[in-house]
Amino acid sequence: MNQELYFKKLGKALGCAANKKAGVLEDLREDVREALSQGESWEQVMARMGTPEELAGELNENMGVEGKASGKSSVWKIVLAVAGGVLLLLLLAGVLVYRSLPKSYEMGTSGLFDPKTVQASAEEIVELLDAGEFEALQERSVEKMKPTFTEETIAAVREEALGELGAFEKFAGYLAAEVKQGGEIFAMTEVTALYEERSVIYRITFDEDMKLAGIYMR
């Protein structure tokens, strides 16, 4: 680093008032001139004084002033910091929203699910529900879902949401897709089942291990 750059950096990093700063820099320049005229090399002088930042840090500390990390004024630094913070929050929020939005793909895209197995499993879940096989449902569910499958909750939900169904007649429709949400991939199905009194659409979701991860009926 040459002398000019050294003093430029030093001036920027000094925290004292402008008029005082000029005096400090003048003293140091004279010091360097003196050292050079007495046979020291610029490299030796620099090695002794330290980097501009180190020297400024020492001077600031010994003069009891706050240092400045850069040439920008502190007001601008605050403005920049706030703007930076806001931008970061917006970005983070954007990423979170993006990650939480489900992205759907055609069933079979990831290779994690076999479309036929998924359909068979979804219909099986409906049959188990109809049969009241709650233990079997619990076994096939992810941990979080297990408490849902008790006779009380399921019976209550079905009764309240759907009313009287009557006997099961047949499966009348099926849709499936892969859904990516929060870094995980799920198989989402919609199974339409016809009963004597009405039809019910079941939305049944499996995780990668074909464990039942969600169920919704209307």
Q: CA torsion 81→87→92→98, rounded to 10°? A: -170
Contact 9, 53 (CB under 8 A): yes
Note whether 17 binds other proteins by CB under 8 A: no
Least distance to other proteins, CB of residue 37, Å: 6
Measure the CA–CA gap between 82 and 90, rounded to whole angstroms.
Answer: 12
Contact 83, 31 (CB under 8 A): no
Select the residue interacting with other proteins from 1, 5, 48, 156 (CB under 8 A): 48
* For other proteins, the closer CB: 54 or 169: 54
Contact 3, 32 (CB under 8 A): yes
Q: CA torsion 157→158→164→165, rounded to 10°? A: 170
Note whether 19 binds other proteins by CB under 8 A: no
Select the residue interacting with other proteins from 62, 111, 151, 183 (CB under 8 A): 62
φ/ψ bin of 189: left (φ > 0), alpha (ψ from -120 to 50), beta (otherwise): beta
Note whether 34 binds other proteins by CB under 8 A: yes
Helix (H, G, I), strand (E, B) or coil at 153: helix
* For other proteins, the closer CB: 49 or 179: 49
* For other proteins, the closer CB: 56 or 125: 56
- Give 139's contacts (C-beta < 8 A, 6+ positions apart): none
Select the residue interacting with other proteins from 13, 46, 55, 176 (CB under 8 A): 55
Stretch that binds other proteins, among 31-39, 100-108, 152-160, 190-198 (CB under 8 A): 31-39
Measure the CA–CA gap between 153 and 173, rounded to whole angstroms.
Answer: 26
* For other proteins, the closer CB: 24 or 177: 24
Note whether 37 binds other proteins by CB under 8 A: yes
Q: How far is CA 56 from CA 33, 40, 66, 157, in A?
A: 19, 21, 10, 72
Under rule CB under 8 A, how many of the chain's residues touch other proteins? 24
Note whether 50 binds other proteins by CB under 8 A: yes
Least distance to other proteins, CB of residue 69, Å: 17
Q: Using CB under 8 A, which residues numbered 179 to 198 contact other proteins?
A: none
Select the residue interacting with other proteins from 31, 127, 196, 208 (CB under 8 A): 31
Note whether 58 binds other proteins by CB under 8 A: yes
Q: How far is CA 81 from CA 65, 72, 87, 89, in A?
A: 22, 12, 10, 12
List of residues contacting other proteins (CB under 8 A): 20, 23-24, 26-28, 30-31, 33-35, 37-38, 48-50, 54-59, 62-63
